[in-house]
Amino acid sequence: MYKAAFQSPLEAHIKANKKYEYVDPRNPNYKLSIAPNKLGTSDYTVIMGYPLYNPNLGKYEYRSESFSTSTLGGNLETAREMGVSALDSMWLSNKI
């Protein structure tokens, strides 16, 4: 009868707005977004974007990584916390 009896606040936000976006307040180049999987499965896709310093070129290059929440058991809150933590680690390691 019901697909899901409970939705977390994050899941409800994604369903209402089609995605969740986080931009690091210290540097807007560090971004995270969570959106429903485009294949129509019940999991979500997490995309992280961040600048990465390339010492060979002497400049920053923008990188993007994505993964499915199914690798985390479908837990959106865990995916968000891990993504924000990873962006924080990237920010700290990119300081020159």
Domain ranges for the chain, please list them. Answer: 9-93
- Is pLDDT above 50 for 21? yes
Q: Are 57 and 50 in contact (CB under 8 A)?
A: no
CA distances for 96 relative to 13, 53, 93, angstroms:
37, 9, 8
Q: Are 84 and 68 in contact (CB under 8 A)?
A: no
pTM of the model: 0.81
Give residue-wise pLDDT tens across range 27-86.
999 999 999 988 877 789 999 999 988 889 999 999 999 988 887 667 888 889 999 999
The pLDDT score that the predictor gives to residue 29 is 94
